Structure 1
Amino acid sequence: MEIIVSNKSSHPLYEQIANQIKTAIMSGELQAGEAIPSVRSLAKSLHISVLTVQKAYSTLQDDGFIETTAGKGCYVSVQNQDFYLEEQQKRIEEYFLKAIEIAHISGITFERLVDLLTLLYQEDE
């Protein structure tokens, strides 16, 4: 797993780190029980403060994505799949809300929107 941060981003560094680790977990790149870099090693490799990485890890732990064991390190939480599914559904809802807003503005009916979603979903299978 490679983490890339940018000082030019509108998001704070800790948020960039947390988001990239969340994405890796939700995509399956990082598996339950798998170790993630220690706070110190990640801070060193990214040339940033240990406190910044600690804040990212704290956020991930609060959200249930990682567990920290004193003296052993940080690991991807062994959460049930429902937790990750819920996170993905929240992301999808955001896109749906945006699509619905565009449909309302454009005068696209609910039926037409459903037809479009059905077509796109089946096309991807």
Structure 2
Amino acid sequence: MQIIVSTTSGVPLYEQIKTQVRAAIHGGDLRDGALLPSLRQLAAQLRVSIITVTRAYNDLVAEGLVANEHGRGFAVLPVDRAVATAALQERVDRGIDEVVTAARAAQVSRDDLLRRVERQWNQE
């Protein structure tokens, strides 16, 4: 799992971390029982405060995605596939909203937007 944060984004750093870890869990990149990087390790890697990483991890604990296991660190909890699928679909919907808004602002036609989406879809 690779986490990338931006200090120029309007989104708080802890929120960026939490969002990317959550996506990795829902997407299956982090499986049940996997250990997250230690607080110190991730803070050093991202060059952020340990408090920032702690906040992100504690929020994930509150969401029921990870547990803080004494002596082991933060471990991924089992995820209900239906919940994960719903979360991923919600993420797609947010992305579509963002793309449509940007396309309208750039005066990209609906047909051109659909062609671009089709081209992107076929690249993989």
TM-score by length of 2: 0.70
- Residue 9 and residue 71 in structure 1: after superposition, are their counterparts in 2 closer, same or farther (change >3 A)? same
Are 1:53 and 2:56 an aligned pair? no
C-alpha deviations, 1:8-57, integer Å up to 9, x for none? 01100001101111111122111111111011111111111110000000
Distance 1:67 1:48 in 2: 22
Higher gyration radius (CA): 1
C-alpha deviations, 1:56-110, integer Å up to 9, x for none? 00111111221111221111111222221232243355568887xxxxxxxxxxx
Higher relative contact order (CA 8 A, sep 6+): 2
Are 1:12 and 2:7 an aligned pair? no
Alignment of 1:44-123 (within 5 A): 44-92=44-92, 94=94
Distance 1:26 1:15 in 2: 16
Distance 1:50 1:94 in 2: 30
Tell me which amino acid in the other structure corresponds to 2:68.
T
TM-score by length of 1: 0.70
Distance 2:56 2:7 in 1: 15
3-state DSSP of counterpart to 1:32: coil
Q: Which moved more, 1:6-15 or 1:76-85?
A: 76-85
Distance 1:82 1:42 in 2: 29
Aligned length: 114
- Report the counterpart of residue 103 of structure 1 in structure 2: none
Q: CA deviation at 1:4?
A: 1.1
Tell me which amino acid in the other structure corresponds to 2:50.
V
The alignment-based identity, stated in percent, is 36
- What is the aligned-residue RMSD (CA, Å)? 3.2
- Deviant stretches of 4+, over 6 Å: 95-99
Structure 1 gaps of 5+ residues are: 100-115
Structure 2 gaps of 5+ residues are: 101-113
